[in-house]
Amino acid sequence: MSKLQTVRVLSCDPGVVNSAVFVADLKLDAQGVIKGIKVIASFMMTTTIHDHTTEARNAFVKYVKQLKRKYKPQIFICERFQPRGGFLKASIVECVNWMIALMSIIFDAETKLVTAASWKNVYTKRGKVNLKDLYKKHKKYLGPHRTDAILMMIIQFGFESAKAEKFIQYVVNNLIKNEK
């Protein structure tokens, strides 16, 4: 039996208002497939770049440096931001792109940028997972952004999409246990 490698992964679903983070230690086999997982943290970021001021960027840099010191990610996974239309799209895209670039530079970790369509299709089309139902079921402890940060992480490491709902329940159970 080959030895498993443990890596610390930080996954982010970014936005100017709602940015979710999931941190886990993954035990990977020689092919990079998840064989074990330890939930470290799941939270909404308290600081984002919400406007084009130097103050907003500086506050975000300080916040991300704190995350790096606390979690020491070896791999950084982030959803490449795609606006849904509406007012000030270009401004929002620019702010979130600043966030992604700064996190990538500050974490100084292997970076994987993924589109929502690429990872969500694995769950909804191949795994037959209803994401809206999953978001609703776990609204109390996760909500959609934190759920997305978790799902986009595990799909990068060969996790079977059909097991997503059980895995999300496992994460919720760990979060509840850690609250006590």
User: Could you read off the pLDDT of 67-80 as tens digits, one per residue?
Assistant: 999 999 999 999 98
Q: Which pLDDT belongs to residue 41?
A: 92
- The DSSP secondary structure of 105-158, one letter per residue, reads HHHTSEEEEE-HHHHHHIIIIIS---HHHHHHHTTTTTHHHHHHHHHHHHHTTT
pTM metric for this prediction:
0.89
User: Mean per-residue pLDDT for 104-128?
Assistant: 86
User: Domains of the chain, with CATH numbers?
Assistant: 5-174 (3.30.420.10)
Q: Which pLDDT belongs to residue 110?
A: 95
How far apart, in whole angstroms, are the C-alpha atoms of residue 148 and residue 155?
A: 11
Q: Which residue has the tokens 């982030």?
A: 78
Q: Which pLDDT belongs to residue 140?
A: 84
User: Could you read off the pLDDT of 136-169 as tens digits, one per residue?
Assistant: 888 888 889 999 999 888 888 877 666 777 888 8
Residues of the chain by 3-state class (helix, strand, coil), percent to 5 = 50, 20, 30
User: Residues of 136-161 as b/e, b for ≥16 C-beta within 10 angstroms?
Assistant: ebbeebbebbbbbbbbbbbbbbebeb
How far apart, in whole angstroms, are the C-alpha atoms of residue 118 and residue 170?
A: 24
161: three-class secondary structure by DSSP: helix
Structure-model confidence comparison of residues 43 and 117, the more confident one? 43
